[in-house]
Chain A
Amino acid sequence: MSDHSHDPRGHVLDRLGDHLEGDLTPEDFTRVDAHLAECSACMAELRELRETVALLRGLPDPVPPPRLVAGVMQRIEVEGDSRGRVIELFREVAQPRVIAALAAGIAALALFSTLDVGEGGLLGPSSDPDRGLIARRDVPAGVPDAGAESARRPRSLSPAPAAPGSFPRRQQAILVGLEPRVMPPRRAMAISEAPRYGIFGSAAPEVPLRDLESEFEALMADPQAFLDRVERTSASARRPMIAPLVEHSVRRGGVSEINRFLGRAAAPVAVPVSTAR
């Protein structure tokens, strides 16, 4: 009971809380008890402390509102819808830029020629947690299929895909769209990383990183609020508002994060690809 010695009068005020909770060693408990038997000041202090705690613990349980659970579940449903609508918005805004990218000669033809758009479509089934993130795999000849690991490898946009991991992060792009039955491959959008020369081209303004991060977090946290804000803006203002966000998500290594975000919606998936420029 080293603390005891701090008080020249031998009071045990600093041990009363532990005494109350039974957190003292048997030796300390005996010593504090012995002091309490002789010291009316410490005893009064203990009593007051005990009464205070009793008052606190005597508070009745408030009854939760009966609509709490239903309200939560309803908001979750609405939020899911909002995420789906955000994705639609992304697609809607980005689509013309895909065309622009094609016109700019960013090897978009190579993209579509190398993507496997067979039975499973351009994008893998979103119900598959791995394949939902990355579309169908392009495994070059001679490169062993490393299963899920290779599934995380960026898709090549070039006719002759390089080995796994050979795509620099800066060359990554993100492909956002809906499953084929909802959105045909040709309507998928590709967004490159480079803000000035990417798929969004010069339409993507230079936005401070910190602002982008805040925007991205806000979008993740409350897609409905984001939607409300976007929908208050003119159609022409939407593109520069949204494009940097998606590009930022790639830049921050946020493909997995945006896929968690997308995974809440019905069908959309985000697919990292590489650009061949």
Chain B
Amino acid sequence: MVAMSIGMLDSPPKAPVRVKGRRPAHEIIDPDGELVSRWQSGDESAFASLVRRHEQRVFRLLYRMMGNREEAEDVAQEAFLSLHRHGHRFRREARFSTFVYRVAANAALNRRRALGRNRNRMNELKVSQQAGFDLPAGPRDPEDAATGSEVQHRVQAALLELPTDLRVAILLYDIEGQSYQEVARVLGIPEGTVKSRIHRARNTLRDLLRSYVGRGSEGAAL
């Protein structure tokens, strides 16, 4: 059982399959606990293992936040560096992954703020995204490549249209599979605010993606 758990941990964290109810809020076992202890005791190789373990989720979040691979990579590096600098502040009051998300989200928000001071750069990003640059990996269903790719571009573009606070909330919840409580911890806001932001984000996305939803199809079951 232990071996299986370790094996599972060694694989990169995947976007969770959405299951109603999610993880129980009272769960306190941290799969990163041992590595974190080693790192905080000065073992830098443990930190490298932590980076490997979390790179997928951090990059996924940042890519969806930034809409640009280069930006996402850059911010991911900044996030991990920040994690390394401030790791001593992690007091195990939440899971380490929550701490990682928090650092990554802050890094993304800081970068967005910096970009916000440069409107031209923002516009450039938006244009590149709408033009279909920086495409993610191919769609899961090769037979639906053309349609799937277009839809994905539109969804990503719609995400970038969302205000940053709504975007990060819905990404953490719907893409990263964090619970309301975890999102609240990551963003440092009340759970009620999280719910409200996710609700608004979904409604805005639905409006932005009108041409893909509301056609009366029944095939979009969760």
Contact = CB atoms under 8 A, between A and B. Distances in A.
Contacts of A50: 220-222
A72 B175 CA distance: 24
Interface string B184-222: 000000000001001100110110010011101110111
A8 interface: no
B37 to A, nearest CB: 15
Given A71-B77, A76-B84, A55 B137 contact: no
A20 B73 CA distance: 33
Contact of A72 (B21, B77, B202): B77
Interface residues of B, number: 56
Contact of B198 (A17, A22, A55): A17
Given A52-B202, A52-B205, A62 B221 contact: no
Contacts of B202: 17, 49, 52-53
A262 to B, nearest CB: 13
B151 interface: yes
A22 B179 CA distance: 13
A206 B193 CA distance: 45
Interface residues of A, number: 35
A64 interface: yes
B48 interface: yes
A47 B155 contact: no
Contacts, number: 130
B52 interface: yes
B170 A68 contact: no
A111 B59 CA distance: 52
A79 B216 CA distance: 56
B212 A51 contact: yes
A260 B88 contact: yes
A235 interface: no
Q: Is the interface of A mostly helix, strand, loop or mixed?
A: helix
Q: Is the interface of B mostly helix, strand, loop or mixed?
A: helix
A59 B175 contact: yes
Nearest to A127: B42
Contacts of B220: 47, 50-51, 54-55
B63 interface: yes
Given A72-B80, A72-B81, A62 B209 contact: no
A22 B52 CA distance: 34
A51 B213 contact: yes
B63 A57 contact: no
Interface stretch (B12-20, B25-33, B117-125): B12-20
Contacts of B47: 73, 76
B95 interface: no
B60 A57 contact: no
A220 interface: yes
B212 to A, nearest CB: 6
Contacts of B138: 60
Contacts of A59: 64, 136, 152, 155-156, 175
Given A20-B222, A62-B60, A62-B63, A53 B174 contact: yes
B104 interface: no
A61 B217 contact: no
Interface in B43-90: 44, 47-48, 51-52, 55-56, 59-60, 63-64, 69, 72-73, 76-77, 80-81, 84-85, 88
B155 to A, nearest CB: 5
Among A44, A49, A52, A58, find the residue whose CB has the most chain B CB atoms closer than 10 A.
Answer: A52
15 contacts: A50-B220, A51-B206, A51-B213, A51-B220, A52-B209, A54-B222, A56-B174, A56-B175, A60-B138, A61-B137, A62-B69, A62-B72, A73-B51, A76-B47, A76-B81
Interface of B: 14-15, 18, 20-21, 44, 47-48, 51-52, 55-56, 59-60, 63-64, 69, 72-73, 76-77, 80-81, 84-85, 88, 136-140, 151-152, 155-156, 159, 170, 174-175, 195, 198-199, 202-203, 205-206, 209, 212-214, 216-218, 220-222
